């Protein structure tokens, strides 16, 4: 069984052949403006536009914790907007990350990646502004993606890492 590949670099510019899905975690309140999403928006306007519309029209769609929206940004590149955090602030209920929502989103991501025969690229999802611990997120990625034979690369980046 393969493992997660860790590299230094920008997850928005994966340098591998084939179809690629760039996965990241969003909040459940429609906020897009800090962390890794800024790197995505610098490269492509569509993921943010799609996320905002998805949230705005949430009464009639599947928007919510654990949901995933796939946005094609280039012929061989998709962005997965995964709703994995409740709100944006750490408060009485703890940090915003929701591991069970990330787990559900990763399962949907695995299905899409398998369907597209794609590799998956991401920062350390849920561990930046969402306040999660990589020791809790990494096993979910291994279970949902790696065990299914999906190649996963995690990017550690200086500026804007999340």
Q: Are 130 and 53 in contact (CB under 8 A)?
A: no
* pLDDT tens digits, one per residue of 45-72: 999 999 999 999 999 999 999 999 999 9
pLDDT tops 80 at residue 127 = yes
* 3-state SS, residue 116: helix
Q: Which residues contact 11 (CB under 8 A, 6 or more apart)?
A: 22, 24, 36, 39, 121, 122, 123, 153, 154, 155, 157
Check residue 144 and give its pLDDT: 98
* 3-state SS, residue 55: helix
Choose the CATH number for 5-156 among 1.10.150.120, 3.40.50.1820, 3.40.220.10, 3.40.50.2300: 3.40.220.10
For the chain, the structural domain boundaries read 5-156
pLDDT tops 80 at residue 28 = yes
pLDDT tops 50 at residue 12 = yes
* 3-state SS, residue 100: helix
Sort strands 20-27 and 68-74 into parallel, antiparallel or unpaired. Answer: unpaired
Check residue 49 and give its pLDDT: 98
| DSSP conformation class of 20 | E
Check residue 91 and give its pLDDT: 83
d(CA 156, CA 116): 25
* pLDDT tens digits, one per residue of 75-108: 999 999 999 999 988 888 788 999 999 999 999 9
């Amino acid at each position: 069984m393969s493992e997660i590949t860790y590299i230094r670099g920008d997850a928005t510019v994966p340098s591998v052949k084939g179809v690629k899905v760039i996965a990241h975690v969003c909040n459940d309140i429609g906020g897009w403006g800090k962390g890794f999403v800024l790197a995505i928006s610098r490269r492509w306007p569509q993921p943010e536009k799609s996320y905002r519309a998805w949230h705005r029209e949430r009464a009639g769609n599947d928007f919510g914790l654990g949901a995933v929206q796939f946005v094609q940004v280039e012929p061989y590149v998709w962005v997965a907007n995964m709703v994995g955090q409740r709100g944006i602030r750490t408060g009485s209920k703890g940090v915003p990350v929701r591991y069970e929502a990330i787990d559900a989103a990763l399962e949907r991501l695995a299905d899409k990646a398998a369907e597209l025969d794609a590799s998956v690229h991401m920062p350390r999802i849920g561990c930046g502004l969402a306040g999660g611990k990589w020791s809790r997120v990494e096993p979910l990625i291994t279970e949902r993606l790696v065990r299914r034979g999906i190649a996963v690369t995690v990017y550690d980046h200086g500026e804007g890492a999340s």
